[in-house]
Amino acid sequence: MGHPTIHPTGTTIYNTEKAYGGYTIYQAAGQGALLIDMNGKEVQLWEGLSGFPNKILPGGYVLGSRGQRSAKHGIQDEVDLVQVDWEGNVVWSFDKNEYVEDPGEAPRWMARQHHDYQRQGSSTGYFSPDQTPETNKGNTLILTHENVINTEISEKVLLDDKIIEVDWDGNIVWEWRPNEHFEEMGFGEAAKNILYRDPNYRPSGGGMGDWLHINTMSTLGKNKWYEEGDERFHPDNIIWDSRESNIVAIISKETGKIVWRLGPDYDSSEELKKIGWIIGPHHAHMIPNGLPGAGNILIYDNGGWGGYGAPNPTAPTGRMNAKRDYSRVLEINPVTLEVIWQYTPGEAGFITPLDSYRFYSPFVSSAQRLPNGNTLITEGSDGRLMEVTNDHQLVWEYISPYFFKGGSLDKMNMVYRAYRVPYSWIPQLEEPKETKIEPIDVTTFRVPGAAQSGFERKVKVDGIIEAKGEDDEALFCVISDTDSKI
C-alpha cells in the first residue's frame, strides 16, 4: 500500500484530560537522544548520543552510546554504554566486554551492546511508582553480542545474544549464552533443518548467522505470581524475545534454564491457538508492580516476517515462514495464557484485512504501560508514537520529524523505542503548560491555496443505481442506460 508524501509531524493529537502527562525520550534519527513534552516541544537534545535505546533516569540522567562498530566488522554493535548527566558529561561507562581487533581499525575494548539493558532498581527501564532505578550505584544487565560456533545449530559462525551483568565498576559478574540452551527452545525438525542450513545468515561482519536476534531483555521484578508460589516468575528471572524465531521466553537467573516460553510454534496447544501467531516480536516484558496490569506480559507483536519451519509459497526455504501484514499489542496472563487486553487494527478502527496495514510496523517498536492505565505505543517503522486508553481511544499522537539521510534507512523517520517519564524526574525543567490539540478532520482540511471546503461546481448525475452485495456493502455504479443490468 502507498503512503502520502506529505503528512504532519510533531504532536498531532493531545487530549489533556485523558493522556498521562510527562516527558518522552526517543532517539531522533541523525540527531541524538531527544526529550519532548506532551505538546511536542523539544526541551533537551543530547546531540550525538546514540541509543539502542535511550533511557532516562531520575535527575535528568540519560543512558546511550557514543558510537557503533563499523558494519564491515559487526552487526549492530554499540561500542560502549554510557550514562550522561543533564549537561552531557559522562558519569558512568562500560565497554570491557570484548577486546576487538578489527582490520584497519585501532584495537579497543567494546561493549557490543545492542537492543536493551536495565539498570538495577527498575525491572523494565520505564517508570513505575514502585520502582526507582539507581543513578550512582548498582548493577546493569546488558544485552550483548558474541560470535560463536555451535555445530548442533549450524556449521556457520553464529551471532549469539549473550546477556551479561556488570557492577558499577564494570566487572562482569554474570553471563548467559542462548546457544547453550538450544534444545530448550522447542524447535521442530523442520526448523532445525533450515537453521542448520541458513541461521539468518548475514554477510556483514565477515559473515555470520543472526539466528535469534534477541531485541528485548529485562528482569521480571516483584510480582504476584511468585508471591503466590510460582517459582517460574522469580523476580530475578529474565524475560527476552527473539525477532527471528518468534519466541518469547523466561530464563532462571540461577540455573540459566528456560522456565516459561511462548513459541516458536503457535499451533501446539489450544491456548496458543487463541493467542495466534506472534511474529517478529519486540519489547516483551512483565508489567511492573505499581502499574495497571502488573504481572501480565506486554508484547509488541510486529507481524511482518519471522520464524523457521517447513517451506511454504512465501518462504521457499522455510526461513521467515510466518508472515502477517499488520501489528498487534498484546497483554497476556502468563499463567493462563489468556489475552487480557489488546490493540490491533480492529481496536484502532481499521477494517481487517482491507486497511489493517495502517497499524503496522514490521520491525522495531514497543509498548509501555502508564500509571493511568493507558499504553504508550511506539509504531516505530513510521516514527509514530501514540497513547491509547484501556478502551482504545487515541489520546496522544506524535510523529517524528527527523529522517535518516543515506544508507539503508534513507528517508525513514524510524523510532526504535520511546519512553514516557513523569515531569518530576526532570528537576532541571519547570513543569510545562499542557495545551489540548484537537485531531484534524482530514476530510475538510486543505493546505493553503487549495479549496478549503465545499465545491467550486456541483452537478447531479442521472442514472446512479445503488446495489447491495452479499456482505451488505453498498456498491455504486454509474450507467448511461437506465435499462442496463448490474
Question: What's the whole-number mean pLDDT along residues 380-397?
Answer: 98
Q: Which three cell numbers stand for residue 428?
A: 532541571
- For 329, residues 6+ apart whose C-beta sits below 8 A from its C-beta are 298, 299, 300, 301, 342, 343, 344, 367, 375, 377
Q: Which three cell numbers stand for residue 115?
A: 537492543
SS3 477: strand
| Whole-prediction pTM | 0.94
How confident is the model over 172-213, as pLDDT tens digits? 999 999 999 999 999 999 999 999 999 999 998 889 999 999
Statement: residue 227 has pLDDT above 70? yes
Q: Over pLDDT 90: what percentage of the chain?
A: 87
Can you tell me the distance from the alpha carbon of 142 to that of 145, in angstroms, rounded to the nearest whole number? 10
How confident is the model over 266-301, as pLDDT tens digits? 999 999 999 999 999 999 999 999 999 999 999 999
Q: Residue 34's pLDDT is what?
A: 98
Q: Residue 408's pLDDT is what?
A: 87
Sign of CA dihedral 369, 371, 372, 376: negative
Q: Residue 458's pLDDT is what?
A: 82
Strands (E), 243-359: 247-251, 258-262, 282-286, 297-301, 304-308, 319-324, 328-332, 339-343
DSSP 23-43: EEEEEETTTEEEEE-TT--EE
Domain ranges of the chain: 11-433
Statement: residue 86 has pLDDT above 50? yes
Contact (Cβ atoms closer than 8 angstroms) between residue 344 and residue 330: no
81-95: b (≥16 Cβ within 10 Å) or e: bbbbbeeeeeebebb
How confident is the model over 408-461, as pLDDT tens digits? 899 999 999 999 999 999 999 999 999 999 999 988 888 888 766 666 788 888
Q: Residue 450's pLDDT is what?
A: 72
Statement: residue 468 has pLDDT above 60? no
CATH of domain 11-433: 2.120.10.30
Question: What's the whole-number mean pLDDT along residues 14-37?
Answer: 98
Q: Residue 462's pLDDT is what?
A: 83
Q: Provide φ and ψ at 189, rounded to 5°.
A: -65, -40
Statement: residue 165 has pLDDT above 70? yes
How confident is the model over 305-338, as pLDDT tens digits? 999 999 999 999 999 999 999 999 999 999 999 9
Q: Residue 472's pLDDT is what?
A: 46
Average pLDDT of the chain to the nearest whole number = 94
Question: What's the whole-number mean pLDDT along residues 222-227?
Answer: 98
Question: What's the whole-number mean pLDDT along residues 3-14?
Answer: 92
